[in-house]
Amino acid sequence: MKPFDFKKVIEWLGFVLRCPICGHKYNLDKTEVIESEQNEPMGEAHILIHSDCSKCKSSVMFNVDIKGPEVFSVGMVTDLTRGDSSKFKNKTPITPNEVIGIHKALKKFNGDFVSTFAKK
């Protein structure tokens, strides 16, 4: 089994993948591999790709699993930009207590963002 040529896979994906929002074909320049793993002896690979649509500006993440000759791809619309995806990918998930915390804080919030975010 030859090692995966990720560039080739990305090129192929760029050819087949279209924006789920507007149907525009993805521009490879706007596509980035965020994460990739491969298991060469098994002929398996996993790739996470982030792509920005140049037409409607929506962002989509594609999860691609390659198992020998089979390729599985799942697309997910996201509001995360490329920078956000790298920033948040290793963060722990938000806990229920954090959600309750922000809920309580918002209940008391008077709408004044300037004084809330001003350095004290």
Q: Which residues lie near Zn ion (CB under 5 A)? A: 19, 21-22, 24, 53, 55-56
Judged by beta carbon, residue 30 or residue 55, the one nearer Zn ion is 55
Judged by beta carbon, residue 22 or residue 100, the one nearer Zn ion is 22
Would you list the DSSP string of 44-100?
Answer: EEEEEEEEE-TTT--EEEEEEEEETTEEEEEEEEES--HHHHHHHTTSPPPPHHHHH
Judged by beta carbon, residue 38 or residue 58, the one nearer Zn ion is 58
Tokens linked to 56? 């409607």
Judged by beta carbon, residue 59 or residue 85, the one nearer Zn ion is 59
Cα separation of 28 and 31, whole Å?
A: 5
CB-based contacts of 112: which residues, under 8 Å, 6+ apart? none
Minimum distance from residue 70 beta carbon to Zn ion (Å): 27
Minimum distance from residue 57 beta carbon to Zn ion (Å): 7
Minimum distance from residue 26 beta carbon to Zn ion (Å): 9
Minimum distance from residue 12 beta carbon to Zn ion (Å): 20
